[in-house]
Amino acid sequence: MSEAPGWFDWASAAADAIKGRCGDVPRIAVVLGSGLGDFADTLADAVHIPYQEIPHWPAPTVIGHAGKLVVGSVRGRRVAALSGRVHAYEGHSQDTVVFGVRVMARLGVAHLVLTNAAGGINTSFGEGALMVIDDHINLTGSNPLIGANDDRIGPRFPDMSEVYSRRLGTIADQAAEDTGVAVAHGVYVAVHGPSYETPAEIRAFRTLGADAVGMSTAPEAIAARHAGLEVLGISCITNMAAGVLPQPLVHEEVIETARRVRGSFIALLEAVIARI
């Protein structure tokens, strides 16, 4: 066998360590993208676990990713919030990138909400818009399922015809209507990074049918579906992609925009979780 059984064992060890500290096991998990970690601090009766205290869990190095697991409650529902993620551009393998998702699967989580900060390709989007991901295009150049398959995690050839649950997408629409938070729908294209895309690349992505672009999420969504989790994706459009506006792209703008929409983002997440 390849290293796949090692990842299964490591994810199981991490899940066991979390169970020993969090009490009731959550059925819902949320991965929080760049600048979106404030949601974790709103959970009631929360247990905060720094990633470095969880066996084998990688620590993020990017600004806007706190690097902690918070297990608590939202409107009576137990939730695990992953405040920060690691990316392949930090030098990690795809197995490392999706480690947190696999731990959630081993923990017993059934529903996964993946959030990210993304660049807007669709010119109808404004900065701060929230987009429910209907599908993705994986242009990272890799896949977390490469290598010998471990059947304990999932099947060799998992179906990807509905990566992002239509049921959860409908719930997100209902939550948006009830809270007065506007949401759009679209296709997310994932790239490797860490450099921002060129204007020519953005034009090509638009031709392919992409509405937003980022450097995460697709590998996690693939790993989650491989493990049988139901997935909802939400992008916060923190900046317009290269060439859309006559200005350079900077990470500080991403963080600032995410902070500006924290109230709407948190309200939407809470309403979604209450309905799952």
- DSSP string covering 8-22, please? HHHHHHHHHHHHHHH
Angle at CA of residue 228, ends 74 and 216, nearest 5°? 70
Catalytic residue at 110? no
What is the structure's pLDDT at 241?
66
One of 40, 239, 242, 270 is an active-site residue; which one? Answer: 239
Catalytic residue at 185? no
One of 34, 83, 116, 138 is an active-site residue; which one? Answer: 34
One of 14, 65, 221, 223 is an active-site residue; which one? Answer: 65
Catalytic residue at 215? yes
Query: Would you say the pTM of this structure is higher than 0.75?
Result: yes
Give the CATH class of 4-275.
alpha beta
Inter-residue contact 221 to 158 (CB < 8 Å): no
**β partners of residue 119:** 213, 239
What is the structure's pLDDT at 144?
97
Angle of helix 99-107 relative to helix 4-22, nearest 10 degrees? Answer: 60
What is the structure's pLDDT at 242?
58
Catalytic residue at 65? yes
Q: Which residues of the chain have pLDDT under 70?
A: 1-5, 63-65, 241-251, 254
Amino acid at residue number 268: L
Task: Report the relative pairing of strands 212-214 and 230-240 from DSSP bridges.
Answer: unpaired
Residue-level length of the chain: 276
Catalytic residue at 131? no
What is the structure's pLDDT at 2?
41
One of 83, 116, 216, 235 is an active-site residue; which one? Answer: 216
Could you tell me the two tokens for 86?
Answer: 């690691």
C-alpha separations of 1 from 4, 6, 52, 93, 248 in Å: 7, 10, 28, 18, 47
C-alpha separations of 221 from 165, 178, 240, 250 in Å: 11, 27, 23, 26
Catalytic residue at 87? yes
One of 14, 88, 104, 117 is an active-site residue; which one? Answer: 117
Mapped to the 3 state alphabet, what secondary structure does 18-80 carry?
HHHHHCCCCCEEEEECCCCHHHHHHCEEEEEEEHHHCCCCCCCCCCCCCCEEEEEEECCEEEE
What is the structure's pLDDT at 69?
97
Distance of CA 90 to the CA centre of its chain: 16
Q: Please choose, from the candidates 90, 110, 120, 86, the residue with its C-alpha nearest in 3D space to the C-alpha of residue 220.
A: 86
Q: Which helix or strand (DSSP H or E) is residue 218 part of?
A: helix 218-226
One of 251, 256, 267, 274 is an active-site residue; which one? Answer: 251
Would you list the domain boundaries of the chain?
4-275
One of 215, 227, 240, 242 is an active-site residue; which one? Answer: 215
Q: Please choose, from the candidates 106, 40, 100, the residue with its C-alpha nearest in 3D space to the C-alpha of residue 74.
A: 40
| Residue given tokens 């009576």 in the structure block | 76
Catalytic residue at 34? yes
Q: How far apart are CA 238 and CA 25, in angstroms?
A: 33
One of 81, 83, 87, 230 is an active-site residue; which one? Answer: 87
Catalytic residue at 111? no
